[in-house]
């Protein structure tokens, strides 16, 4: 249970921290500072805006978008989902607007209204390209247009049973994935009839007989084997049966995923998506309506498409038909007629074919699938947001294709996304990388989430290279404000939106995210070297396909990509290499490139076998052994990354010098025209005072704090040549930006600070003359050193402490009930209060009291800090009517110096809890609706149907219930 004060023995404390009070923030008003102070919409967080089945309203759309604007959200992506997202896909029953089906007149009117309101508010909106959240499909895709897979039947015959033989049709079973509906499939198309000796696990190429010309579906196979027993395979292709999911209620069982390896079907799909949108919302395309999304891949496997055989021959130079017998199960996990995996010729040759087969699938997914959508969107003035992972295609190639490449992270994680995505984005020159942010598993996100909980994963995501968060989720609330928290996305996601209890104070958290994104979107993220397919360390990565196609040159010993990015070396890790790859690497080395990787041994595929291996072997012989200079340009090849780095360290200006910081401090570096920007975050659960060494010289280090927008010069720092050491203090989980953008201006700053052993808390701000601002909650001697070598010791002051013991007037403001006022003689847990309305309170409780301030304190230079000790979940502090800040994560302190006056002072602390308390209280009351299938204590259970009293907008029968939701944890 969440309560505003977990420990009744932690009263609110007012700490007067005595010390020097200089606060010399930068006075320059450059463009970067302006962006930092007031981030533009494109630099703010975006949201995924889920419309649940037929439950949408123009009134709710306006309120949602206005709330986004007010909260500091930059835009939204609309998803059209089922009314109740859960494993069964079972929709909510008794929906208020059953006529509002997908693409009905009411739907188009609502979409136009959303685009119009977004235009009015200066927001960007977009649409997920398919119904549900994966992947590319809809009700316009039938079995023939859908994803295709190989299927077959087998028949054993011998000479005595020859003549005309009827070959049975393959068994078709839909691979529906999550949320199966029991779909029955009927379409299939013959590919080939192949015969092989029965019972042989290893078959020679000449033993595979193509009998396709002897077969007709109506009359059967006309063939009599000369001798022995044979297995005849009827190879066909059929729909995988995979639908998009979870689709709007009226489309359940009526949708399929489009064939992603067919340019024809991709064109069809995107035409069905874009043409109606352009017809209905065309006035806003490229204005407020600016993007479409392809979410992370959840469509299952596909391994065939019409024309695949011809495409394979064109790409690989040989016919794949006889090799189909080696493929075993057509799709992993399918329950249908299968054959044991056969070997053709030998194991190595068969694996080479399998590599070629997989490679063609990967290429077709991008070339005939995603690229088709990208081109059509570009012609409409729309950008493609894409999470390119999880499917049978190259992630780096998908990243390079996207306008906004995206990853994802979940609330239970440390926040990092798939490292391939930012690494490939950098290589492709994509300066903005997005992330589906705070996706929540039901055990982690139960209306218990708050900014303090979310900060860890947000900072981890920023540190992994992401600079635009797209919050998952902001579910559309179509109903009146009396029904809160209202609509959710079933059991998934973090509950952002206008019905969240901490919506108002949570703006401070959104502002923090926006300021971080402003600085992290400047210039480019610095990388180290270039890798093929998989990154190592902080390297960039390029796909094999793009590496072969790109016009790559070597300048001054550095490898330059078409994006403009340059690298001191190229690394690969695989000993199998296509001849074309080996040839290109050889050309780059001849031009002066440094390459690190194991000596290639052969080609991975069967194309041009065995000459392909000879080409690779010959080139490897020319380039290796390791460390030998190749060609007049001085290119070098090393068999390990370590050897290459050791060589490059001897060449000034070639290798990037990374930031040196202690373990547990995550760092990321951006370089822009304004200067160098470093983001550091303390990933540990304790405060840290530490030095960090930055690869920048001759510039003043500044500290930019995204929590409050403050900018100050660093206090303790020292420069040596091209390096700058800055001493930093970060609370547990705290972050800071260190920015270098202007010449050094303070020659007499402190260069080191040694705190006493007894120091518990440390606050470093600007220098005051030649002194250093140091504040502590305990006494002791500190030591500072200046550039002249002079060292000084000085005692840290003992803070004056005023304990605020009450009484407190507390105004309770529940979002789903009537406000009330109580007097608290002292502060206690809500759990300990005898009144249920307090025990189960959710919302904002405003604590009011007064305290007296000795005028003598205010005549000295002191900082006055309010320290609550511990609270849940977020608090706004006001002194004498002046807002002094929002505290949303530990240690919960807020400075109130500027608002305090001599004599009596009025203090207000508005503490907002999450929804959990109220929902726990409601479970003590009778239900006034029908429960759906119980998913167990870790997941909760849904409301099966909207109750009649809700539809008719009558009074609730269960008067003790205050919250109203479609999912209860």
Give residue-wise pLDDT tens across range 299-357: 999 999 999 999 999 999 999 999 999 987 543 334 444 556 789 999 999 999 999 99
- Provide the edge-to-edge strand list for the sheet that holds 553-555: 553-555, 558-560, 566-567
What is the rounded distance in angstroms from the CA atom of residue 547 to the CA atom of residue 572?
A: 12
User: Any residues with CB less than 8 A from the CB of 59 and at least 6 apart, and which?
Assistant: 478
Q: Could you tell me if 762 and 775 are in contact, meaning their C-beta atoms sit under 8 angstroms apart?
A: yes
Q: Which residues of 790-800 are buried (b: 16+ CB within 10 A; e: fewer)?
A: eeeeeebbebe
pLDDT of residue 454: 97
User: Is the confidence at residue 657, as pLDDT, over 60?
Assistant: yes
Q: Could you tell me if 593 and 635 are in contact, meaning their C-beta atoms sit under 8 angstroms apart?
A: yes
CB-CB neighbours of 781 under 10 Å: 13
**Least confident segment among 1-5, 838-842, 908-912:** 1-5
**Least confident segment among 110-124, 394-408, 761-775:** 761-775
User: Is the confidence at residue 690, as pLDDT, over 80?
Assistant: yes
pLDDT of residue 631: 64
784: left (phi over 0), alpha (psi -120 to 50) or beta: beta
Q: Could you tell me if 242 and 301 are in contact, meaning their C-beta atoms sit under 8 angstroms apart?
A: no
pLDDT of residue 768: 35
Q: Pairing state of beta strands 434-439 and 404-410?
A: parallel
Q: Is 136 helix (H, G, I), strand (E, B) or coil?
A: coil
Residue 2's pLDDT band, with cuts at 50, 70 and 90, is very low
Helix, strand, coil percent content, the chain, rounded in steps of 5: 25, 30, 45
Q: Which residue in this structure is represented by tokens 């009450």? A: 806
DSSP H/E element including 33: helix 31-37
Q: Could you tell me if 703 and 712 are in contact, meaning their C-beta atoms sit under 8 angstroms apart?
A: yes
What is the rounded distance in angstroms from the CA atom of residue 55 to the CA atom of residue 483?
A: 14
Q: Is 815 helix (H, G, I), strand (E, B) or coil?
A: coil
Phi, psi of 726 (to 5 degrees): -120, 130
Cα–Cα separations (whole angstroms), residue 529 to 395, 430, 674? 19, 17, 24
Give residue-wise pLDDT tens across range 364-414: 999 999 999 999 999 999 999 999 999 999 999 999 999 999 999 999 888
What is the rounded distance in angstroms from the CA atom of residue 56 to the CA atom of residue 36?
A: 36
User: Is the confidence at residue 923, as pLDDT, over 50?
Assistant: yes
Q: Is 258 helix (H, G, I), strand (E, B) or coil?
A: strand
User: Any residues with CB less than 8 A from the CB of 9 and at least 6 apart, and which?
Assistant: none
What is the rounded distance in angstroms from the CA atom of residue 557 to the CA atom of residue 770?
A: 46
Q: Exposed, middle or buried by CB within 10 Å (0-12, 13-18, 19+), for 165?
A: middle
What is the rounded distance in angstroms from the CA atom of residue 383 to the CA atom of residue 380?
A: 9
What is the rounded distance in angstroms from the CA atom of residue 448 to the CA atom of residue 470?
A: 20
- Provide the edge-to-edge strand list for the sheet that holds 894-895: 800-803, 13-18, 862-867, 894-895
Tokens read off for 117: 């309101």
Tokens read off for 565: 């990015």
pLDDT of residue 779: 57
CB-side neighbour CA atoms (13 Å) of 614: 4
Running DSSP on this structure, what letter comes out for residue 18? E
Which candidate, 680, 661, 681, places its Cα nearest to that of 669? Answer: 680
Residue 799's pLDDT band, with cuts at 50, 70 and 90, is confident
Q: Exposed, middle or buried by CB within 10 Å (0-12, 13-18, 19+), for 581?
A: buried
DSSP H/E element including 904: strand 903-912
More confident residue, 179 or 100: 100
Give residue-wise pLDDT tens across range 197-226: 998 889 999 999 999 999 999 989 999 887
Q: Is 271 helix (H, G, I), strand (E, B) or coil?
A: helix
Q: Could you tell me if 599 and 575 are in contact, meaning their C-beta atoms sit under 8 angstroms apart?
A: yes
End-to-end CA distance of the chain: 12
Residue 17's pLDDT band, with cuts at 50, 70 and 90, is very low
pLDDT of residue 758: 56
CB-CB neighbours of 930 under 10 Å: 13
Stated pTM of the model: 0.94
Q: Which residue in this structure is represented by tokens 């798939």? A: 418
Which candidate, 758, 693, 739, 750, places its Cα nearest to that of 720? Answer: 693
What is the rounded distance in angstroms from the CA atom of residue 256 to the CA atom of residue 138?
A: 6
Q: Report the DSSP beta bridge partners of residue 456.
A: none
Residue 88's pLDDT band, with cuts at 50, 70 and 90, is low
DSSP H/E element including 549: helix 544-549
Over residues 615-632, the mean pLDDT reads 83
CB-CB neighbours of 620 under 10 Å: 20
Q: Is 807 helix (H, G, I), strand (E, B) or coil?
A: coil
- Provide the edge-to-edge strand list for the sheet that holds 717-720: 688-694, 723-730, 717-720
DSSP 722-760: TEEEEEEEE-TT-EEEEEEEEE---TT-B-EEE--TT--
Over residues 517-523, the mean pLDDT reads 98
pLDDT of residue 59: 98
Compute the CA torsion angle 419, 424, 427, 431 (nearest 10 deg). Answer: -80
Give residue-wise pLDDT tens across range 448-500: 999 999 999 999 999 999 999 999 999 999 999 999 999 999 999 999 999 99
What is the rounded distance in angstroms from the CA atom of residue 532 to the CA atom of residue 366?
A: 18
What is the rounded distance in angstroms from the CA atom of residue 224 to the CA atom of residue 230?
A: 10
Which candidate, 871, 814, 816, places its Cα nearest to that of 844? Answer: 814
Give residue-wise pLDDT tens across range 703-722: 999 999 999 999 899 999 99
What is the rounded distance in angstroms from the CA atom of residue 811 to the CA atom of residue 324?
A: 74
Running DSSP on this structure, what letter comes out for residue 322? G
pLDDT of residue 70: 98
CA angle 400, 403, 408 (to 5 degrees): 80
Tokens read off for 250: 């009226």
What is the rounded distance in angstroms from the CA atom of residue 766 to the CA atom of residue 755?
A: 17
pLDDT mean across residues, the chain: 90
Q: Which residue in this structure is represented by tokens 């068969």? A: 350
Q: Could you tell me if 235 and 191 are in contact, meaning their C-beta atoms sit under 8 angstroms apart?
A: yes
Strand locations in 227-334, DSSP E? Answer: 229-239, 256-257, 289-294
pLDDT of residue 855: 84
Residue 89's pLDDT band, with cuts at 50, 70 and 90, is low
Strand locations in 752-853, DSSP E? Answer: 752-754, 763-768, 771-775, 780-785, 791-796, 800-803, 808-813, 820-824, 844-853
Q: Could you tell me if 726 and 690 are in contact, meaning their C-beta atoms sit under 8 angstroms apart?
A: no
What is the rounded distance in angstroms from the CA atom of residue 929 to the CA atom of residue 93?
A: 11
Q: Which residue in this structure is represented by tokens 């919960």? A: 892
Q: Is 109 helix (H, G, I), strand (E, B) or coil?
A: helix
């Amino acid at each position: 249970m969440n309560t505003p004060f977990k420990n009744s023995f932690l009263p609110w404390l007012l700490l007067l921290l005595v010390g020097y009070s200089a606060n010399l923030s930068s006075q320059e008003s450059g463009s970067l500072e302006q962006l930092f102070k007031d981030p533009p919409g494109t630099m703010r967080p975006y949201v995924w805006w889920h419309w649940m089945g037929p439950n949408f309203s123009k009134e709710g759309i306006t309120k949602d978008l206005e709330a986004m604007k007010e909260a500091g959200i930059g835009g939204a992506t609309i998803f059209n989902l089922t009314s109740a997202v859960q494993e069964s896909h079972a929709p909510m029953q008794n929906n208020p607007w059953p006529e509002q089906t997908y693409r009905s007149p009411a739907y188009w009117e609502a979409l136009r209204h959303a685009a119009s309101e977004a235009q009015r508010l200066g927001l960007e909106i977009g649409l997920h390209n398919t119904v549900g959240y994966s992947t590319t499909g809809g009700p316009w895709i039938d079995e023939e247009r859908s994803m295709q897979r190989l299927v077959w039947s087998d028949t054993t015959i011998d000479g005595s049973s020859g003549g005309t033989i009827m070959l049975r049709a393959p068994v078709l079973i839909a691979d529906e994935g999550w949320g199966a509906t029991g779909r029955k499939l009927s379409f299939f198309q013959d590919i080939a009839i192949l015969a092989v000796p029965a019972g042989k696990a290893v078959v020679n190429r000449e033993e595979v007989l193509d009998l396709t010309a002897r077969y007709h579906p109506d009359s059967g196979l006309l063939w009599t084997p000369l001798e022995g027993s044979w297995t005849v395979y009827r190879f066909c292709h059929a729909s995988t049966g995979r639908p998009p999911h979870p689709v709007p209620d009226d489309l359940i069982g009526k949708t399929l995923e489009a064939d992603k390896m067919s340019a024809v079907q991709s064109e069809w799909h995107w035409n069905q998506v874009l043409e109606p949108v352009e017809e209905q919302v065309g006035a806003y395309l490229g204005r407020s309506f600016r993007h479409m999304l392809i979410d992370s891949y959840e469509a299952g496997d596909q391994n065939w498409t019409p024309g695949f055989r011809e495409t394979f021959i064109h790409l690989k130079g040989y016919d794949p038909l006889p090799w189909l017998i080696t493929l075993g199960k057509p799709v992993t996990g399918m329950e249908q007629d299968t054959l044991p995996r056969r070997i053709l010729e030998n194991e190595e040759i068969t694996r080479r074919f399998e590599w070629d087969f997989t490679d063609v699938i990967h290429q077709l997914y991008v070339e005939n699938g995603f690229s088709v959508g990208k081109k059509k969107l570009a012609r409409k003035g729309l950008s493609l947001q894409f999470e390119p992972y999880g499917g049978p295609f190259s992630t780096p190639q998908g990243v390079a294709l996207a306008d906004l490449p995206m990853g994802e992270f979940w609330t239970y994680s440390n926040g990092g996304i798939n490292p391939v995505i930012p690494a490939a984005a950098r290589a492709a020159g994509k300066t903005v990388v997005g992330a589906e942010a705070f996706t929540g598993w039901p055990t982690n996100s139960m209306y218990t989430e708050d900014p303090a909980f979310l900060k860890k994963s947000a900072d981890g995501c920023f540190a992994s290279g992401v600079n635009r968060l797209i919050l998952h989720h902001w579910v559309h609330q179509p109903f009146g404000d009396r029904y809160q928290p209202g609509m959710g996305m079933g059991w998934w996601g973090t509950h952002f939106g206008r019905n969240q209890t901490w919506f108002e104070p949570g703006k401070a958290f959104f502002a923090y995210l926006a300021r971080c994104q402003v600085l992290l979107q400047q210039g480019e993220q610095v990388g180290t070297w270039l890798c093929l397919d998989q990154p190592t360390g902080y390297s960039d990565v390029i796909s094999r396909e793009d590496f072969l196609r790109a016009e790559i040159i070597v300048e001054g010993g550095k490898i330059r990509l078409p994006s403009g990015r340059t690298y001191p070396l190229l690394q690969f890790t695989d000993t199998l290499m296509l001849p074309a790859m080996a040839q290109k690497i050889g050309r780059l080395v001849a031009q002066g490139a440094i390459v690190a990787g194991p000596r290639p041994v052969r080609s991975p595929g069967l194309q041009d076998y065995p000459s392909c291996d000879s080409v690779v072997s010959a080139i490897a012989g020319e380039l290796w052994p390791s460390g030998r200079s190749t060609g007049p340009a001085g290119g070098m090849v090393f068999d390990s990354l370590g050897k290459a780095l050791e060589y490059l360290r001897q060449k000034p200006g070639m290798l990037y010098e990374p930031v040196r910081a202690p373990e547990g401090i995550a760092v990321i570096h951006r370089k822009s025209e304004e200067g160098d920007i470093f983001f550091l975050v303390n990933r540990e659960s304790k405060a840290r005072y530490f030095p960090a060494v930055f690869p920048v010289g001759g510039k003043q280090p500044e500290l930019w704090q995204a929590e409050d927008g403050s900018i100050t010069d660093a206090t303790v720092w020292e420069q040596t040549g091209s390096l700058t050491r800055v001493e930093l203090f970060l609370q547990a989980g705290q972050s800071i930006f260190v920015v270098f953008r202007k010449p050094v201006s303070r020659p007499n700053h402190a260069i080191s600070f040694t705190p006493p052993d007894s120091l518990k808390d440390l606050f470093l701000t600007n220098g005051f003359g030649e002194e250093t601002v140091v504040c502590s909650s305990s006494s002791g001697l500190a030591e500072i050193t200046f550039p002249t070598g002079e060292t000084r010791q000085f005692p840290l002051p003992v803070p004056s402490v005023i304990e605020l013991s009450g009484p407190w007037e507390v105004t309770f403001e529940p979002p789903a009930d009537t406000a009330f006022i109580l007097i608290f003689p002292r502060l206690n847990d809500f759990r300990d209060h005898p009144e249920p309305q307090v025990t189960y309170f959710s919302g904002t409780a405003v604590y009011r009291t007064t305290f007296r301030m000795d005028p003598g304190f205010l005549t000295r230079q002191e900082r006055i800090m309010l320290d609550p000790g511990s609270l849940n979940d977020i608090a706004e502090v006001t002194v004498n009517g002046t807002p002094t800040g929002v505290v949303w994560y530990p240690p919960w302190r807020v400075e109130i110096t500027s608002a305090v006056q001599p004599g009596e002072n009025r203090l207000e602390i508005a503490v907002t809890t999450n929804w959990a308390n109220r929902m726990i209280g409601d479970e003590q009351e009778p239900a006034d609706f029908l429960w759906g299938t119980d998913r167990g204590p870790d997941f909760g259970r849904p409301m099966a149907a909207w109750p009649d009293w809700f539809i008719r907008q009558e009074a609730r029968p269960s008067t003790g219930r205050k919250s109203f939701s479609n999912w209860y944890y």
